[in-house]
């Protein structure tokens, strides 16, 4: 019986105009957007590799250790085509040096080609499904029961020895199959497009992630179908059911996420928090300065830091607390003070590293307490809408969510530690090559390479789990309620 019911529902849905129209529009939008997205992605890959090359050349060009300017670049994530998340909004370049522990605030976005184009919001594939397919789900559902009721077929069906739950279930299954078809078809074509673009290489784990995104999409669409079904069982007229569905869709998909983000501000003003962190950081650096003074008081070095009356030819660069020297030739009369200068450099670098770690901790806390907390709260509040739940879940799968970005920061921090270890191994801070290249320039052949690999699939799955399970719970709840209403309804 269930079989017959499903087949009949399926046939009536597939031949309907709404199904055809939905398939056409989903395919059209997906294909057109993928063309744009692939192009943008290729640009980003090209810019990434070029930047990486420039950074490498810049690093290797340093003749002394202190001159090293090391930048690392976040590689573009191919899954951002499906779900953009924060991928394009945040910067990609971070400078690595011993005197600063990188945080989110150290990421800069200076190699964007034309940031004015951000005025146009970019649309990823997931947002097409989010908007079009959820609308389609409601269009399938609004007359599922109310329509049968109006035309009288409901009475006819129920007069057969078939349970009401079975009817509901058959309708649900048939509609889900019809929703899956445009989804899978467009994804198939998108995959084809992706495989034709040479710059995009998807690994085996990426397909697992895409699988996760598909699964999430199904659960999401099911939520919307069940919302429609619930409304349809509650109302007697298709016109009423339709209006309720449409307005609810507008609220859930269009209005609520934007509304909650701009209206609800549960954390209030966080300026005080930021200021107190700034003060603490200032204190730490003042303490560093005092320590340096104490050290210099017992040292025969004279003159203002950082030059100490050392006569040399060469160049020096400085930016807050950071000095890069390249003494290509040291005058003979300055030679005796050089060991002291070496000592001082070793001391000051060690102090800076220690202070930087303290500052890093404070910064980390400050960011965790302010911006990151704010972002998480925004997300939490937005998650009252299944549409936002879906966006966050998919970006968690793709690794373009907030956690994915924080992963990058973690890797960058670890890389800074490797760099410091490397410099320690070479005894660079206390060496003459820290500031002088008169005895030969530094050879950077074994400078550790930066490599960023995205989090494991299982990690992605874990991050998406809460949102997916919330969607799942919504599904169960909605189905239960519509089932309960439907068995009590008088036909």
Partner 1 sequence: MIRHIIQREFFDHLNSLRFALTVIIMAALMVTNAVVHLQSHPDKVRHYSENVAKDRDTLQSRTELYELLRKGPGKLYKQSSALTFIADGGDAFLPNRGTQSWGSWSRTAGFGSQVKSIWSADYPTANPNARDLRPKATKIDWVFIITYLLSFIPLLFTFDALSGERESGTLRLCLANAISRPALLTGKFLGTLIAILIPFYFAVLLNLAVISTDSWTELGAADWGRLGMTLLIASGYTSIFVAIGLMVSAGTRDTRVSLVVLLIIWVALVVFMPSTLGTLSTKWMSPVQTAHQRETAKRSALDQINDDFDKQMMDKAQPQTGGLLSQLMGLAKTSPKEAEKLAKEKQAELMAAMAKAESEKSDEEELRIQAELINKDVEIRERLNREHLRAQLAQVQRARVVTRFSPAAIVQYALESMTGTGLKRHLQFLDSVHLHIRQFRNFITETDRADTESPHIIGIPEGMSKKSISPQALPNFEDKITFSDTFNAAILDMLLLVGLLGVSLLGAFLVFIRSDV
**Which of the residues 129 through 148 are near partner 1 (CB under 8 A)?**
131-132, 135, 139, 143
- Chain centroid offset of residue 345 CA: 39
Give the Cα separation of 375 and 379 in Å (integer). Answer: 6
Q: Which residues pair with 324 in a beta bridge?
A: 317
Which listed residue (5, 6, 13, 29) binds partner 1 by CB under 8 A? 29
Instruction: Report residue 200 as tokens.
Output: 């995009």
210 binds partner 1 (CB under 8 A): no
Name the segment binding partner 1 (CB under 8 A); options: 44-52, 276-284, 357-365, 423-431. 44-52
Q: Is 197 helix (H, G, I), strand (E, B) or coil?
A: coil
Q: How far is the CB of 61 from partner 1 (least distance, A)?
A: 15
Minimum CB distance to partner 1 smaller for 104 or for 170: 104
- List b or e across 436-475, with b for residues whose CB sees 16 or more CB atoms inside 10 angstroms: bbbeeebebeebeebeeebbebeebbebbeebbebbeebb
Which listed residue (2, 4, 11, 18) binds partner 1 by CB under 8 A? 18
Minimum CB distance to partner 1 smaller for 222 or for 388: 388
Give the Cα separation of 264 and 269 in Å (integer). Answer: 13
Which listed residue (33, 64, 326, 394) binds partner 1 by CB under 8 A? 33
Q: How far is the CB of 414 from partner 1 (least distance, A)?
A: 21
35 binds partner 1 (CB under 8 A): yes
> Cβ neighbours of residue 168 under 8 Å, at least 6 residues apart?
229, 479, 482, 483, 486
Name the segment binding partner 1 (CB under 8 A); options: 64-72, 206-214, 261-269, 328-336. 261-269
Which listed residue (56, 261, 307, 369) binds partner 1 by CB under 8 A? 261
Give the Cα separation of 365 and 276 in Å (integer). Answer: 12
Give the Cα separation of 48 and 70 in Å (integer). Answer: 15
3-state helix, strand, coil in the chain (%, to 5): 70, 5, 25
Of 388, 10, 38, residue with least CA distance to 194: 38
Minimum CB distance to partner 1 smaller for 262 or for 445: 262
Name the segment binding partner 1 (CB under 8 A); options: 46-54, 71-79, 226-234, 309-317. 46-54
Which listed residue (371, 413, 466, 475) binds partner 1 by CB under 8 A? 371
Q: How far is the CB of 225 from partner 1 (least distance, A)?
A: 16
Q: Is 111 exposed, middle or buried (0-12, 13-18, 19+ CB in 10 A)?
A: middle
Minimum CB distance to partner 1 smaller for 36 or for 61: 36
70 binds partner 1 (CB under 8 A): no
Q: How far is the CB of 191 from partner 1 (least distance, A)?
A: 20
Please report, as residue ranges, which positions from 217 to 256 form the binding site for partner 1 (by CB under 8 A): 239-240, 242-244, 246-247, 250-251, 254-255
The count of other CB atoms within 10 Å of the CB of residue 224 is 30
467 binds partner 1 (CB under 8 A): no
Minimum CB distance to partner 1 smaller for 39 or for 427: 39
61 binds partner 1 (CB under 8 A): no
Find out whether 161 and 252 touch, Cβ atoms under 8 Å.
no
59 binds partner 1 (CB under 8 A): no
330 binds partner 1 (CB under 8 A): no
- Tokens 């070029």 belong to 50
Instruction: Report residue 473 as tokens.
Output: 């719970």
Give the Cα separation of 119 and 109 in Å (integer). Answer: 16
121 binds partner 1 (CB under 8 A): yes
Q: Is 96 helix (H, G, I), strand (E, B) or coil?
A: strand
Please report, as residue ranges, which positions from 342 to 361 form the binding site for partner 1 (by CB under 8 A): none
128 binds partner 1 (CB under 8 A): yes
11 binds partner 1 (CB under 8 A): no
Find out whether 75 and 49 touch, Cβ atoms under 8 Å.
no
The count of other CB atoms within 10 Å of the CB of residue 45 is 15
475 binds partner 1 (CB under 8 A): no
The Cα angle at residue 363 between residues 362 and 369, in degrees rounded to 5: 90
Q: Which residues pair with 322 in a beta bridge?
A: 319
Please report, as residue ranges, which positions from 401 to 430 form the binding site for partner 1 (by CB under 8 A): 402, 405
Q: How far is the CB of 109 from partner 1 (least distance, A)?
A: 4
Backbone angles phi, psi at 326, to 5 degrees: -140, 90
Fill in the per-residue mask, 99 to 118: x = in contact with partner 1 (CB under 8 A), - = not in contact: -----xx-xxxxxxxxxxxx
480 binds partner 1 (CB under 8 A): no
Q: How far is the CB of 75 from partner 1 (least distance, A)?
A: 17
């Amino acid at each position: 019986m269930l079989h017959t019911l499903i087949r009949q529902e399926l046939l009536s849905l597939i031949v309907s105009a709404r199904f055809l129209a939905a398939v056409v529009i989903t395919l059209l939008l997906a294909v057109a957007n993928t063309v744009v997205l692939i192009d943008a992605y290729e640009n980003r890959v090209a810019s990434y590799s070029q930047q990486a090359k420039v950074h490498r050349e810049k690093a290797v060009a340093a003749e002394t250790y202190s001159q090293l300017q090391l930048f690392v670049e976040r590689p573009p994530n191919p899954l951002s085509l499906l779900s953009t998340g924060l991928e394009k909004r945040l910067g990609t370049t971070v400078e690595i040096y011993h005197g600063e522990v990188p945080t989110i605030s150290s990421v800069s976005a200076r190699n964007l080609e034309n940031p004015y184009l951000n005025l146009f919001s970019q649309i990823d594939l997931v947002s097409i499904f989010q908007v079009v397919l959820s609308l389609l789900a409601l269009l399938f559902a609004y007359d599922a029961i109310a329509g049968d009721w109006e035309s009288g077929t409901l009475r006819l069906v129920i007069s057969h020895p078939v349970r009401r739950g079975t009817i509901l279930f058959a309708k649900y299954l048939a509609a889900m199959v019809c929703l899956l078809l445009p989804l899978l078809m467009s994804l198939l074509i998108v995959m084809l497009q992706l495989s034709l673009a040479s710059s995009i290489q998807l690994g085996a784990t990426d397909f697992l992630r895409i699988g996760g995104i598909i699964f999430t999409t199904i659960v999401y669409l099911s939520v919307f179908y069940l919302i429609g079904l619930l409304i349809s069982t509650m109302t007697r007229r298709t016109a009423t059911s339709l209006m309720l569905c449409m307005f609810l869709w507008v609220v859930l998909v269009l209005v609520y996420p934007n509304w909650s983000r701009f209206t609800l501000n549960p954390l209030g003003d966080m300026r005080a928090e930021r200021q107190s962190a700034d003060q603490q950081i200032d204190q730490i650096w003042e303490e560093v300065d005092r320590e340096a003074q104490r050290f210099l008081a017992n040292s025969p070095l004279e003159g203002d830091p950082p030059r100490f009356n050392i006569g040399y030819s060469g160049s020096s660069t400085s930016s807050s607390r950071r000095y890069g020297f390249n003494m290509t030739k040291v005058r003979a009369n300055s030679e005796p003070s050089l060991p002291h200068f070496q000592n001082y450099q070793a001391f000051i670098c060690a102090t800076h590293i220690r202070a930087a770690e303290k500052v890093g901790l404070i910064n980390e806390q400050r960011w965790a307490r302010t911006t990151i907390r704010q972002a998480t709260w925004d997300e939490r509040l937005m998650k009252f809408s299944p549409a936002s739940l879906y966006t966050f879940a998919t970006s968690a799968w793709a690794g373009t969510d907030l956690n994915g970005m924080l992963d990058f920061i973690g890797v960058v921090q670890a890389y800074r530690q490797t760099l410091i270890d490397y410099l320690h191994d070479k005894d660079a801070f206390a060496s003459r090559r820290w500031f002088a290249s008169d005895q030969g320039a530094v050879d950077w052949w074994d400078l550790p390479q930066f490599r960023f690999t995205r989090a494991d699939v299982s990690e992605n799955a874990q991050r998406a789990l809460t949102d997916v399970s919330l969607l799942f719970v919504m599904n169960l709840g909605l189905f239960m309620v519509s089932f309960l209403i439907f068995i009590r309804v008088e036909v």
